[in-house]
Structure 1
Amino acid sequence: MNNRFLPIGIQDFEDLRNRGSIYVDKTHLVYKLVTEGKPYFLSRPRRFGKSLLLSTLEAYFLGKKDLFKGLAIENLEKDWVQYPVIKISFGADNYPDLNCLISLENSVLSEYEKKYDIAVSDSRAAPRLKNIIKGAYEKTGKQVVILIDEYDKPILDALYSEYEEQNRQELRSFYSPLKDCDQYIRFLFITGITKVSHVNIFSGLNQLNDISLDKKYSSICGVSESELEKYFMPEIEALAEEQEMNLEETKTKLAQMYDGYHFTHNVEGVYNPFCLLKCFSAKDFGSYWFESGTPSLLVKNLQNQPLELTTIINGRKAKEDQFKNYDPDSKNMLPVIYQSGYLTIKGFDKPKRIYTLDFPNREIEDGFINILLKKFVTVPYDDLGLAIGNLCDALELHDLNRALNIIKSAIADLPTVVKKDMCENYYESVTHLMFRMTGWRVVSELQNVCGRSDVVVASKDSVFIFELKMDKGRSFEEVAEEALAQIDENGYSQRFAVSGKAMYKVALVFSSEGKGLLGWKVKA
């Protein structure tokens, strides 16, 4: 165990292998890629090993056979031909404006012009890239391999700014030679977080084979359950010992925290590799994905779109085209949330071709809800955890007045990012989020902004049934009585009647003018 090296943050395949790091062997899938196709696109969330995959492809096409000793591809590949490789990574810098993007392009192009001794006759990026591809082919006699990592980052970094469209147009021009140079290209692989419409970015490259939802490659990034036990049993045992848990308890906790990603339907789930390695290193179940930073794409979208909880939680039903393709001009946040890794595929209705999307695991659920709450409640950042803890304690003691006063304080004012006509959806959403953060079981039946919301919070000995209503110019008493009557008329409590738990029916009345929670009425 002392000699095992966890490759946390290592994205270079050669470095990883030379260090003797633990490597989850994906090379059988690499061989399948390189022998069965040519132009590929893969979308995966951050911290999922996309860069390491590209580095592995680079080492393979450079013919570095010794690095693959003992791996699956050693017995599959017989020839080990060396090809010229052009690798372009946009992940190492930020691109808030066009100048930053052009600077990166110039740096990369200059590197390969020098490497292949290519004269520069045109200062524009696209002609230069075309000359490099053609020149490398002519000088080596081999077709060129092109690997592009985080192709979409210059667009996402400039999202909602005046430079977004400029960066998009620049990239469209930059990538344009890839179509015209097809005869010189042996293999093309492009990765990103989002799948921005190919017609906008890659122009003529609509023939790219998008394997993001391909069952054959669902585990090409990440660690599957079978791989976890094959490669990491010593780490699991050490974690179990540190946490004073048995092996089965430890594996169950690991799955709850970091497993659950499905990039198509009816496949084995995968763990986030970064979080898994951090957990093994620290020997603790922490929230490591969020320690590495909140994706700017998600934050920017939250700042520019109203809060729509129904598109995020409770097993969202969606057609493939509703979450697969991201359009920066659209107000549909679902592709952003799915492709950023906050939602994953949890079910599939094959006859109807409808997917069920939900949080992959507890780490992501808690982290995402935290982001939403910090954005949409008035509780100071440092006090939010304390407020949620107090809310949990109050519910445990059945002290509803204390619990609801905490919620009332959190949503005292309508945030400036929420329009008045959206306040009903806002109140429903934040109330649900705060209850969900307690760790208790929460069930919501959320409708559209004009509808009503039923929230049920259940603990081991209690059930709280909340009906949320807007006053809409009526008296508090009238609205509260209507809400309590609705709970009884719709039979919300019947499903829990045989549980033997203490039951509380609660009417919550909110202001239609954005003045928060006006009051509540409880019926035990």
Structure 2
Amino acid sequence: MDRPLPIGIEDFKKLRENNFYYVDKSLLIKELLDNRSEVSLFMRPRRFGKTLSLSMLRYYFEQVPVSDTNTDNNNLFKGLKIMEAGEKYTKHKGRYPVVNLSLKSAKQPDWNMAYDAMVNEIAKEFERHDDVLESARLLPDEKELFCRIRGKKAARIDYAMAMEFLTRCLKKVYRRNVIILLDEYDVPLENAYFNGFYKQMTDFIRSFFESALKTNSSLEFAVITGCLRITKESIFTGLNNPEMISILNVNYAEHFGFTQPEVEQLLEAYGISNKKDEVRRWYDGYVFGKTEVYNPWSVLNYTKTAAVDKNAFPKPYWANTSSNSIVRELVERADGSVRQEMEALIEGEVIEKPVHEEITYDEVYKSEENLWNFLFFTGYLKKKGERFDGETVYLELAIPNTEVKLIYRNTIMDWFQERIKKTDFSALYQAVLGKNAAVMEKELSGNLMETISFYDYKEDYYHGFLGGLLKMMDGYIIKSNRESGLGRSDLLLLSAPYEGKAIIIEIKIADTYAELGAKAKEALTQIEDRQYDAELKLEGYHTFILYGIAFYKKLCRVAVKE
């Protein structure tokens, strides 16, 4: 396959004219026309094709000005499924004026910059439609206001009403109602919340939306996209029953993300069908309505890499497109019950939570329940099952795939490392140097209770945990799994060579609490039997402390050679 993959390509025309590989999602057009909702709000996780879909809608529905003799969008849809849907749908092609606006540029550090960014986007859309200024159907004062908005010289109220004004102008000129496409509507709200100007942004967005979407006689229909459903801010209050389409809805489910047949066809086209199982483990697992879908961003990136290097390993592409701050927030706020739930998720189990679709950004961090819901609706958890109890819907939630699991693991590791730097471990360090097994057990078990396991309580987890605690021990350097004698000791703590002191630690995992003592002694015996101190003696170390440490879940037992 010599067709390039459309990684980062969000303009449908550019994708089609340059022969990029395209997973045909054109039947979204058919479903929109069948449903005929005046305002449709699609909520999907980031990087699931929302922007490209809106771009497709623009090029399908938009009427090209008569004066533009160089533009022909008909060929963009040649061979796509929508062209086989029948005249009922194709008659709408190229029929409407379209207002197409993205709000993602409003992700700015303060209100003034965010407002200026939105003004800039509005002005660009006005400039795109400045052919209407040639029409005698617009009054002089309308043309004057149009030019002020386009020139970024209008008043704030004019920009708050700009989308409605533009649709009015377009309808007067083209004599047809207007389609509005709004992308990333919630980006300004999320950003404003984190940067302290939430109310200013909410007030502006509310006016901006209400003027264009509420009782607008120039509106044919509107399609809005974002990640999260936000209704309590009253942004959509008064609109004529907007259709809210979240990942729980059955309709439109297959139009965002790649389905199993689409992924198989893609992998076959690039000669990597043998990677099917690997791709499924890493990037599948999302459930929209009742349809299982893959993360399209990650699948495309991995396909591009694996098509060139057949031995390429999968990696977390989607994880690196955001700060993942919501996962970090949950980890930092976690009490004992939340830590247990996170461990259960990482081990592949499910947790049950009531679903709350109407979360506002200023409510997300008020409770763990809201955080879990935010994680679900933004793609960090998937639905495994559901039940209805009284007035509440409960969802069984799980981590979708390996890629997302790594987000949790890496976030927990980063949090743990930062926590270590802020914690006083002097009692533990004194116990280690003083051969005080009882105090070591108390300190280690206490800290285990405060951590979140991400290795199913395997030896790797305890190895990293113990190494993380001991690496801050003053006067000693820590070495892990160093070759020594007849094998490897798990951890070594070495003083400066001229002091000649070494602490050798071997770790064992017990299957039950009752086995802890025996496993700790087994670890200590192993150090001696396998002569883990042999090479150290050759290097001049002469004073040794030997520890066998056994773990069972969040408890431990320490054996020390007296």
Is residue 34–residue 187 contact of structure 1 (8 Å, CA) maintained in 2? no
| Partner SS for 1:342 | coil
**How far off its partner does 1:354 sit?**
2.7
Q: Name the residue aligned to 2:81.
A: 72
For structure 1, list consecutive stretches of 5 or more residues without a partner in the other structure. 241-246, 382-400, 402-407, 414-422, 441-461, 468-479, 482-503, 510-518
Cα displacement (A) at 1:74 = 0.8
- Cα pair 1:137 1:184 within 8 Å, conserved: yes
Partner residue in 2 for 1:192: 226
- Find the counterpart in structure 2 of residue 393 from structure 1: none
Deviation (angstroms), 1:207? 1.6
The secondary structure found in structure 2 opposite 1:215 is coil
Matched, 1:219 2:263: no
Work out whether 1:432 is the aligned partner of 2:453. yes
> Which of 474, 499, 506 in structure 1 is aligned with 2:552?
506
Match of 1:159 in 2: 193
Poorly superposed stretches of 4+, deviation over 6 Å: 436-440
Q: Classify 1:187/1:412 alpha carbon distance in 2 versus 1 (closer, same or farther; 3 Å).
A: farther
Partner of 1:386: none
Question: Does structure 2 retain, via aligned residues, the 8 Å contact 1:506–1:521?
Answer: no
Q: Is the 8 A contact 1:145 1:185 kept in 2?
A: yes
What is the match of residue 366 of structure 1? Answer: 406
Matched AA of 2:79: G
Cα 1:286/1:75, change in 2 over 3 Å: same
Where do 1:125-274 residues align within 5 Å? 125-205=159-239, 207-212=241-246, 213-235=248-270, 238-239=271-272, 247=274, 250-264=275-289, 267-274=290-297
Q: Aligned partners of 1:303 and 1:96: how far apart in 2?
A: 25
Q: Tell me the residue number matched to 1:26.
A: 25
Give the aligned partner of residue 98 of structure 1: 111
TM-score (norm 2): 0.65
The letter of the residue matching 2:185 is Y
Helix, strand or coil for the counterpart of 2:217?
helix
Query: 2:102 touches 2:183 (CA, 8 Å); kept in 1?
Result: yes
Distance of 1:429 and 1:30 partners within structure 2: 51
Is there any run of 5+ residues in structure 2 with no aligned partner, and where? 64-72, 134-142, 146-153, 307-311, 422-431, 433-438, 462-507, 518-549
* Corresponding position: 1:17 with 2:51: no
CA deviations on 1:26-78 (whole Å, 9 max, x unpaired) are 11122111332231111111111111111111111115322110001112233
Alignment map for 1:392-403 (pairs within 5 Å):
none
1:98 touches 1:166 (CA, 8 Å); kept in 2?
Answer: yes
After the TM superposition, which of the residue ranges 366-375 and 307-316 deviates more from structure 2?
307-316
Give matches, 1:508-523, under 5 Å. Answer: 508=554, 520=557
SS in 2 for 1:196: coil
Q: 1:149 to 1:378 in 2, by over 3 A?
A: same
State the one-letter code of the partner of 1:361. Answer: N
Partner SS for 1:6: coil
SS of aligned partner of 1:175: helix
Which of 87, 90, 109 matches 2:100? 87
Pairing 1:278-317 to 2, within 5 Å after superposition: 278-283=301-306, 284=312, 285-296=314-325, 298-299=327-328, 301-302=329-330, 305-306=333-334, 308-309=338-339, 312=342, 313=345, 314-317=349-352
User: How far off its partner does 1:106 sit?
Assistant: 1.6
Task: Provide closer, same or farther for how the CA distance between residues 439 and 170 of structure 1 changes in structure 2, counting only shifts above 3 A.
Answer: farther
- Distance change >3 Å, CA 437–CA 127, structure 1 → 2: farther
Contact 2:184–2:225 under 8 Å retained in 1:
yes
Question: Equivalent pairs: percent with the same residue?
Answer: 25
The answer to whether the aligner puts 1:333 opposite 2:371 as a matched pair is yes
Aligned residues: 408
User: C-alpha distance in 1, partners of 2:331/2:62?
Assistant: 44
Deviation at 1:368, TM superposition (A): 2.1
* TM-score (norm: length of structure 1): 0.69
Whole-Å separation in 1 of the counterparts to 2:21 and 2:416: 42
Superposition CA RMSD, Å: 3.5
